[in-house]
Amino acid sequence: MNTRFQNAIARKAQATPPVWCMRQAGRYHAHYQALRAKHSFMDLCRIPELASEVAMGPMRDFDFDVAILFSDLLFPLDALGLGLSYEQDGPKLKTKLNPVTIHNLVPLTEALPALHFQKEAMIATRSLLPKDKSLIGFVGGAWTLFAYAVEGSHSGGLLEAKKYFTLFPKFCEQLIPFLEANIVLQLSGGAEVVMLFDTAAGELSPALFQQFVVPTIETLAAKFPGKLGYYSKGTSEAHLRHPFFASGLLAGMGVDHRLDLPSLFGLSKTGFLQGNFDQALLHLDAKHFAEELKRYLEPFEKLSPQQRASWVAGLGHGVLPKTPEANVQSYVKLIRETFR
């Protein structure tokens, strides 16, 4: 386990925050590109030895504090019978969710074996990780999976998903127990924390988010107190100003670059707060990137180690394709130099 990451969860004051980023293993990285040239994306996810090798690449090259399961949040939709393939222009579902197809979803007992590869990938990754590094898993948030199941993408304003909003509770009746079982698989494989990535949540109003989405997070968090983290893209403070997020059930939260992270350190009294440098700024030339990162870090420097004890340094969202590897290296280095 990584001491810095565990300290952030427990809110123990420390000089240097842990560092990890979503999509730290991905298309920008030469190590990933070399593997992808030989194997399909599906094989990289489903074959544990390959998934663990992808996850280890950024750990070796950039020395992140935390490794992340290499997989995809859409696999539960495949297991539930919607069919999933990965084409040149992205993932495709064979069947979309609607008032008719919702009755054809595969039952939990039949669907779960299709995700056992994630547990095996966890075990394989943990066997390669140094003992002083942490390992986390992830699943998609209920709303995000629903939106993709209905739309076949997360682009635009999610008109179809919102049109079928009345299907969401029924979908969750089957999805939430399935996600619970999926989380058990990842925890039993060695995950210290499992993140709920809700990348479509920001398309909902704060009222709808709190009415329909928060209860799904709360249900899962109550099953695994202190073991689940939550990240939602595009959500505002108004979304997150809900008693649940201050309840202490979560291991931590992540926020994107649209929010002022230092002002959120008091949102909850427990767990980590991860984020949130704008990932697009890693595409700047080295000089201007370093200047922007230093400017971003200034408010954190004004806080005492205790005031920022929960901070896990990361990006607003995942590392983008074509991000210069040198800037990823510098990102980790500059944070550790600033907070030695």
Q: Max CA-CA distance within the chain?
A: 57
Query: Rounded distance, CA 129 to CA 151, Å?
Result: 37
pLDDT score for 267: 86
pLDDT surpassing 90 at residue 30:
yes
- Tokens representing 235 are 């959500």
pLDDT score for 90: 78
pLDDT surpassing 80 at residue 312:
yes
Domain range for 166 is 3-338
Average pLDDT rounded to a whole number, residues 308-326: 96
Q: Is the preceding omega at residue 327 within 30 degrees of 0, hence cis?
A: no
- Tokens representing 193 are 């924390």
Average pLDDT over the chain, rounded to an integer = 95
Cβ neighbours of 148 (radius 10 Å): 25
Query: What pLDDT digit, counting tens, does each position of 178-193 carry?
Result: 999 999 999 999 999 9
Which residues, other chains included, contact 315 with Cβ-Cβ below 8 Å and sequence gap of 6+? 21, 22, 257, 275, 276, 277, 278, 279, 282
Query: What pLDDT digit, counting tens, does each position of 201-238 carry?
Result: 999 999 999 999 999 999 999 999 999 999 999 999 99
- Tokens representing 110 are 């039949």
Per-residue burial over 62-83, b if 16 or more Cβ lie within 10 Å, else e, is bebbbbbbbbbbbbbbbbbbbe
We report the CATH number of the domain holding residue 253 as 3.20.20.210
pTM of the model: 0.94
pLDDT score for 154: 66
Total number of domains constituting the chain: 1
pLDDT score for 206: 95
Q: For the chain, how are helix, strand and coil distributed in percent, rounded to 5?
A: 50, 15, 35
Query: What pLDDT digit, counting tens, does each position of 111-128 carry?
Result: 999 999 999 999 999 999
